[in-house]
């Protein structure tokens, strides 16, 4: 079906009048692929919830009584009793009428599917299309009221497609309509997909020569450009383009969480990936080995540098693009979330003229950003700062930044050896990952240099045994290490839709036990906060991120434990005795301040 053949909302797509009466009798809708059995829900929803142990016997009897005395459906009674959230009731209803349930919050929407039904119709019937199978000509739709037979019949007649109905919560449908039909991402990509399919429809197979012609056409360039536009405007840090068996999934990492935002038909896979390869100066005819590249992209006044990685998978090449924004500046340590005793311990460590300071955490925990903030603080005309990175993520004026290139032999170890002949005061080594780099970093610290680096460990205490594993001598670590920073990133509560609530007493007791003397003594009534979800934060309740930290100063007692090759638990206990605030404690303090939620802290810092 071409764009010109699509039904228009003001002509062919006139919504039929809807009977307000409830569908309470057994009925059946039969299309070419499936049947939907619809039965009276007066008993079945309550029965299903009871069978799943979600309703107690007493609650079940109360529901039955209120249904009988008030003449209401089980769904209405359950909503009035506030026993369950909307999703549990909708799932039970879907099971009662034998309709599959779909969670729209985690569903990627197909631009092609959305193009079949205009906004006026989806709002009228409280439904939204989310997937389209071109092979079977099947359109999948999510419905707030999946027993609305008239709506299913109407959509089937006007589209000429087989309709597969799914149940969804009414609020999810409403949010999805508001979000998907306003996004330029879906609309623009949908148009470009149709134009691209017209280019490829003349031949069943698309050879490499044909791909070369297609990627020069405007539609493919538009698809890639729109995907990147949305990434920049939605504050995404990464874009994942993932080939699957029957489609391409596009996901965006926003505030550290991956979200499905788009699906593309399999027919545009080669052209889209080839377009990205050309922009990244990769070989478009190489499909067997991983490739890396980078290019710049500008949206309005925002310029970003994209690091691109292409990896062969079972269903084609997967592309991951990391967005590095060139504007906005380097945040201060306080803006990152470092404060109190942790900030004082780190300030004391970085003001020493020599030694090693390590920042620890998993990939994506913000280690490089923390190091950049520290270097920016130390950056003056009186010191020579040199960095060795993989890659150089942000350019800092006044700092000599070098990107490693293993292909020509410029590794961390080789570069660090060369740095020592460049008269540096402060050295940043992107990562300590082998024995040679470890030895050179220690030698640099012993000869009067201040060395910063990262290490992949789960917490600050784990860095000391890790250095021993890398071959460093315990007495050298004890004499050169100034401090170790452990960190994670949590999402911040959206300030626009932020609301307070009273947490359960058991949770407050757990936080008191974890914080100990750090728990605010003047707190009479503890309030937690969360985001309800709004247009500003994309209904997630979160907007932006902040770090939670622990800073382990290497004291005299810590050095003695290190010389004894003590365990991580012993090292952490001593660090707490020396005044270290752990990551979990720092997270709980930020919960009490209203910066983030308890769920976020437990997600990243739960032991």
pLDDT of residue 565: 86
pLDDT of residue 263: 82
Nearest to 180 by CA among 103, 78, 108: 108
Asked if 185 and 227 touch (Cβ cutoff 8 Å), the reply is yes
**C-alpha distances in Å from residue 146, one per residue of 91, 153, 527, 553:** 12, 12, 40, 60
Please state, as a whole number, how many other Cβ atoms lie within 10 Å of the Cβ of residue 460: 29
Q: Which neighbouring-strand residues pair with 304?
A: 297, 325
What is the C-alpha to C-alpha distance for residues 465 and 459, in angstroms, rounded to an integer? Answer: 11
Given the structure tokens 């003449």, which residue do they identify?
71
What is the C-alpha to C-alpha distance for residues 112 and 310, in angstroms, rounded to an integer? Answer: 26
- Which of the listed ranges 95-99, 110-114, 346-350 does the model predict with the highest average pLDDT? 346-350
Asked if 309 and 290 touch (Cβ cutoff 8 Å), the reply is yes
pLDDT of residue 191: 64
Torsion region of 235: left, alpha or beta (phi above 0 gives left; psi -120 to 50 gives alpha): left
Nearest to 112 by CA among 124, 129, 127: 129
What is the C-alpha to C-alpha distance for residues 309 and 294, in angstroms, rounded to an integer? Answer: 9
Q: Which neighbouring-strand residues pair with 503?
A: none
What tokens does 526 get? 């503890």
475-478-483 Cα angle (round to 5): 160
Residue 493: its H or E element: strand 481-493
What is the arithmetic mean of pLDDT over 537-547? 85
| pTM summary value | 0.68
What angle separates helix 57-70 from helix 74-81, to the nearest 10 degrees?
A: 120
pLDDT of residue 258: 87
Percentages helix, strand, coil for the chain (3-state, rounded to 5) are: 40, 25, 35
Give SS3 for 186: helix
What is the C-alpha to C-alpha distance for residues 106 and 247, in angstroms, rounded to an integer? Answer: 16
What is the C-alpha to C-alpha distance for residues 360 and 562, in angstroms, rounded to an integer? Answer: 18
**Beta strands per DSSP E along 176-335:** 236-243, 247-254, 257-265, 291-299, 302-313, 316-325
DSSP 451-463: EEEEE--SSSTTH
What is the arithmetic mean of pLDDT over 373-381? 93
pLDDT exceeds cutoff 60 at 135: yes
Nearest to 463 by CA among 488, 435, 440, 483: 483
Nearest to 123 by CA among 160, 92, 151: 151
Give SS3 for 499: strand
Per-residue three-class SS string for 49-114: HHHCCCCCHHHHHHHHHHHHHHCCCHHHHHHHHCCCCHHHHHHHHHHHCCCCECCHHHCCCCHHHH
Give SS3 for 367: helix
What is the arithmetic mean of pLDDT over 66-75? 74
What is the C-alpha to C-alpha distance for residues 92 and 237, in angstroms, rounded to an integer? Answer: 37
What is the C-alpha to C-alpha distance for residues 462 and 448, in angstroms, rounded to an integer? Answer: 26
Give SS3 for 327: coil
Residue 90: its H or E element: helix 86-96
What tokens does 249 get? 């999934």
What is the arithmetic mean of pLDDT over 209-214? 48
pLDDT of residue 3: 39
What tokens does 287 get? 């499909």
What is the arithmetic mean of pLDDT over 385-408? 87
Sequence-separated (6 or more) residues with CB below 8 Å from residue 409: none
Given the structure tokens 């300590």, which residue do they identify?
432
29-43, 276-290, 427-441, 463-477: least confidently modelled range: 29-43
**Beta strands per DSSP E along 116-217:** 127-133, 138-143, 162-167
186-195, 235-244, 316-325: least confidently modelled range: 186-195
What is the C-alpha to C-alpha distance for residues 401 and 379, in angstroms, rounded to an integer? Answer: 13
What is the arithmetic mean of pLDDT over 128-132? 89
- CA 2, chain centre distance (Å): 35
**C-alpha distances in Å from residue 1, one per residue of 6, 112, 161, 194, 506:** 7, 10, 10, 9, 58
What angle separates helix 41-51 from helix 86-96, to the nearest 10 degrees?
A: 110
What angle separates helix 86-96 from helix 74-81, to the nearest 10 degrees?
A: 160
95-109, 176-190, 410-424, 585-599: least confidently modelled range: 176-190
Domains delineated in the chain: 3-172 (3.30.300.160), 184-325 (3.30.450.90), 333-605 (3.40.50.300)
pLDDT of residue 277: 93
pLDDT of residue 38: 41
Asked if 63 and 43 touch (Cβ cutoff 8 Å), the reply is no
Q: What is the mean pLDDT of the chain?
A: 82
Would the CA dihedral through 186, 189, 195, 198 be positive or negative?
negative
102-106, 320-324, 497-501: least confidently modelled range: 102-106
Helix extents (H) in 447-535: 463-469, 474-480, 505-515
**Beta strands per DSSP E along 344-395:** 355-360, 385-389
79-93, 277-291, 577-591: least confidently modelled range: 79-93
Asked if 121 and 9 touch (Cβ cutoff 8 Å), the reply is yes
pLDDT exceeds cutoff 90 at 117: no
Residue 550: its H or E element: strand 542-553
Let me know if 320 is exposed, middle or buried by CB neighbors in 10 A (0-12, 13-18, 19+). Answer: middle
Q: Which neighbouring-strand residues pair with 248?
A: 243, 264
Summarised one tens digit per residue, pLDDT across range 560-588 is 998 888 888 999 999 999 889 999 999 99
pLDDT of residue 43: 47
Phi, psi of 550, rounded to the nearest 5 degrees: -140, 135
Burial 136-159 (b: 16+ CB within 10 A, else e): eebbbbbbbbbbbbebbebbbebb
Share of the chain above pLDDT 90, in %: 36
Nearest to 322 by CA among 294, 359, 298: 294
What is the arithmetic mean of pLDDT over 163-171? 91
pLDDT of residue 133: 84
Q: Which neighbouring-strand residues pair with 427?
A: 386, 451
HSE-CB for 557 with a 13 A CA cutoff: 12
pLDDT, greater one: 7 or 119: 119
């Amino acid at each position: 079906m071409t764009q010109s053949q699509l039904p228009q909302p003001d002509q062919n797509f006139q919504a039929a009048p809807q009977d307000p009466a409830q569908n309470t009798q057994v009925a059946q809708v039969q299309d070419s692929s499936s049947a939907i059995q619809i039965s009276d829900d007066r008993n079945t929803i309550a029965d299903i919830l009871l069978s799943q142990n979600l309703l107690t016997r007493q609650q079940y009897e109360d529901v039955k009584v209120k249904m009988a005395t008030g003449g209401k459906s089980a769904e209405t009674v359950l909503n009035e009793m506030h026993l369950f959230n909307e999703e549990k009731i909708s799932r039970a209803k879907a099971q009662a009428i034998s309709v599959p349930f779909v969670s729209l919050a985690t569903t990627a929407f197909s631009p092609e599917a959305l193009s079949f039904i205009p906004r006026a119709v989806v709002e009228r019937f409280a439904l939204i299309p989310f997937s389209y199978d071109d092979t079977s000509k099947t359109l999948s739709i999510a419905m707030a009221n999946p027993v609305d037979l008239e709506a299913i019949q109407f959509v089937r007649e006007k589209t000429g497609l087989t309709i597969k109905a799914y149940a969804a919560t009414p609020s999810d449908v409403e949010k999805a309509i508001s979000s998907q039909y306003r996004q330029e991402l879906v609309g623009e990509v949908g148009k470009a997909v149709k134009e691209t399919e017209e280019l490829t429809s003349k031949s069943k197979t698309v050879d490499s020569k044909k791909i070369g012609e297609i990627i020069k056409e405007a539609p493919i360039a538009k698809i890639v450009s729109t995907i990147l536009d949305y990434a920049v405007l939605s504050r995404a840090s990464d874009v994942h383009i993932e080939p699957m068996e029957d489609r391409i999934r596009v996901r965006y990492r926003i505030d550290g969480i991956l979200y499905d935002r788009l699906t593309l038909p399999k027919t545009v896979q080669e052209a889209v990936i080839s377009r990205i390869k050309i922009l990244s100066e990769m070989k478009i005819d190489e499909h067997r080995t991983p490739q890396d590249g980078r290019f710049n992209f500008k949206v309005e006044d925002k310029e970003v540098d994209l690091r691109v990685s292409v990896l062969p998978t079972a269903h084609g090449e997967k592309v991951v693009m990391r967005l590095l924004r060139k504007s906005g500046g380097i945040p201060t340590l306080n803006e990152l979330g470092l404060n109190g005793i942790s900030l004082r311990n780190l300030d004391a460590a970085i003001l020493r003229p020599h030694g090693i300071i390590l920042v620890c955490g998993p990939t994506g925990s913000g280690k490089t950003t923390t190091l950049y903030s520290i270097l920016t603080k130390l950056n003056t005309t009186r010191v020579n700062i040199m960095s060795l990175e993989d890659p150089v993520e942000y350019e800092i004026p006044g700092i000599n930044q070098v990107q490693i290139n293993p292909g020509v032999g410029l590794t961390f170890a080789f570069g660090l050896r060369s740095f020592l002949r460049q008269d540096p005061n402060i050295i940043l080594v992107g990562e300590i990952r082998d024995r040679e780099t470890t030895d050179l970093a220690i030698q640099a610290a012993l000869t009067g240099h201040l060395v910063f680096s990262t290490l992949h460990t789960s917490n600050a205490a784990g860095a000391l045994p890790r250095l021993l594993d890398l071959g460093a001598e315990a007495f050298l670590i004890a004499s050169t290490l100034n401090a170790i920073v452990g960190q994670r990133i949590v999402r911040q509560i959206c300030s626009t839709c932020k609301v307070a609530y009273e947490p359960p007493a058991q949770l407050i007791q757990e936080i008191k036990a974890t914080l100990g003397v750090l728990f605010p003594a003047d707190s009479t009534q503890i309030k937690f906060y969360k985001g309800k979800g709004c247009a500003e934060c994309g209904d997630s309740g979160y907007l932006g991120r902040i770090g939670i930290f622990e800073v382990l100063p290497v004291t005299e007692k810590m050095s003695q434990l290190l010389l004894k090759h003590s365990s991580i638990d012993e090292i952490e206990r001593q660090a707490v005795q020396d005044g270290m605030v752990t990551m979990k404690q720092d997270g709980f303090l930020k919960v009490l301040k209203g910066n983030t939620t308890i769920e976020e802290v437990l997600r990243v810092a739960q032991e």
